[in-house]
Structure formats: C-alpha cells, structure tokens
Amino acid sequence: MPTIKLPDYLTLNGVLIVDKPSGLTSHDVVNRVRRILHQPSVGHLGTLDPLATGVLPLVTGNLTRLAQFYLASEKVYEGVIRFGFATDTYDSEGEAVGPVQAVNVSLEGLRRLAAHFVGVIDQMPPPFSAKKIHGVPAYKLSRQHKEVALKPAQVEIKEFDILEVNHDRASFRARVASGTYMRSVAHDMGKHLGCGAHLHALRRTAMGEFQEREAHPLEDLEAASKSGQMDEIFIHPRRLLPQFPCVTASDEISARIRSGRPINLPDFSQAKQVKVFVGQRELIAIATRVAGTLFHAKIVLAPDPAQQLASKK
C-alpha cells in the first residue's frame, strides 16, 4: 500500500514536548526546532530560564494559536537551593552578592520555613527576569546597570516540599501557579535565614497536562524528522486541553465552523468551550458557548483544505 503524504499544513500543526537542556534559552530551542522541522511557525508555551532543564511544550503551525489557553498553566519543578550566599540573578549563573557565609540548616528547619511560602503570597520577581518595565524586559535593564523598579506580584505556591539537605544544599519539589519564580523563593529563604541563598539547579517536570516522560531531547527530534517519524513525537491532539470536551464534527458542522458560522451542540450545553475535530486527529477549532446549545468558533485552527489549496494556485 502506498504511503499517503499529508499536506504540510496538516503534518506540521502540532504540539511536541522538548526536554530543554541547560544553557539554552527557550527562544534558542524554538530556533533549533524551526530548523529541524523546516517550519517557521513555532512557539513555546512557557519560558524556562537558561539554567533550567525539562518540560518545554512547543506549538507548531496553526496550533501556535493555542498558546492563549496555556497562560495560566500549573507547573511542577524539582531543584536544588544552595545556602551561604545570594547572587544578583538569584541563581547560580549570577555574581555573588557578599561573602560566603557559614551555613547550619536542617531538614526539619527548612521544611518549617518552606511551609510559610505555601499559599497565595506576594513575591518580588528577580531583577534578571522577563518581567517588563515600560515595555522593556527587566533583564535588559539589569544588564545595562539601569535601575529595575519591579513591583511585588501575587503568586500561588500549591506545594513546596524540601526533600533532602546535604550540607549547604537542599533539594525540593514544588507545584506552583503560573508566574511563580522559584529563583525568588530561594533568594527569600536565604534572606529569612540571614545567610543568603540562590537557586542552584532547576528542572520542570510538568506543565499543565504535559509530563516529563513525554519530553524529547533535541537530538531525538532531529533523528525523527530525518527518518519521517515525527508522528511519534507530536502529542495526540485529543490529549490537548483536557478540560475541554471533544466534538467530532460531521461534514456539515465542520463546514459551518470553518466558515465562521455558529453551530448547535445539544449534548454540550453545560460546557463553556469545546474542541472540534474532523476524524480522530485533526483539531479544527476551539468553540465557545454563546447561549444554550449554540457555539461559535473562538479560533479556527484548520481552514477548509479545498479553499487552502485553491488559494495557493
């Protein structure tokens, strides 16, 4: 049986999870994947600092428009805090602030301190961060030695467990809401103890529905792209945004959705938003309930193939 090659606008619309290596920015990873896939339209669903490793979800093609639904995604981190001195970046890539101090921390003491950070707290972002001040990222101002007038932000730490203490270092696991800086947590713990501290290592093990076990090194992506096995790398579309129910559209419904007309979905009158599919894998839209059983496409992710092909002639 001959192999059926789908058009590029179908094969390159997807979500994949990169296991980000330390030393690269999230934008560096996006650029690498653009070259690997020969696809200019690639974005990420949540920045990781250059120091950090782990789960970095990427969206490609038309599915880059899904990014708006992941702005508040929960994250899970594992990492190491080093006590004894703070740094200007709040992590191990920065310059030390002050001399190294003697450290006497215990597992029990750090667990008690960590408990004070659980819940909704006011947190000062690091001066070297992507937070914008009058439209300019804070890290750019810091590198120019300009004043960085950041303001505290409310964040939520849902779980914060100190797992082990080894001399001046403590390993932890944290589950946090979007916008939380574990660098700031490390810095604030050191300030509270009076000995200084910084984030020594960080790995993101989950973000939203995406898990560490699904993350692929960049080398694996490159090998899969060369061998034509990218289907094994992309996340199945029906697993995306699990909080939204799935609708498999008939030809009539898909035509209405793709042309921007409302649709009637009597079985989903309690849902605020639904994912609309053609077949098992092609996600064509996210539809929002207007009233009762009437839904309208919030975003259309796949135009009518016949129209798309006609527009390219």
Q: Annotated active-site positions, please?
A: 49
The rounded distance, in Å, linking the Cα atoms of 308 and 258 is: 11
Q: What are phi and psi of 89, to 5 degrees?
A: -100, -5
C-beta separation of 103 from 84 below 8 A? yes
Reference 64, options 9, 127, 129; nearest CA is 9
Q: Which pairing describes strands 210-211 and 86-87: parallel, antiparallel, or unpaired?
A: unpaired
Q: Exposure of 199 by Cβ count < 10 A (0-12 exposed, 13-18 middle, 19+ buried)?
A: buried
C-beta separation of 29 from 56 below 8 A? yes
Residue that has been written with the tokens 């080894």 in this structure: 166
Joined together, the tokens standing for residue 56 give 């970095």
With b meaning 16 or more CB within 10 Å and e meaning fewer, what string describes 291-308? Answer: eeeebbbeebbbeeeeee
C-beta separation of 124 from 84 below 8 A? no
The rounded distance, in Å, linking the Cα atoms of 10 and 27 is: 24
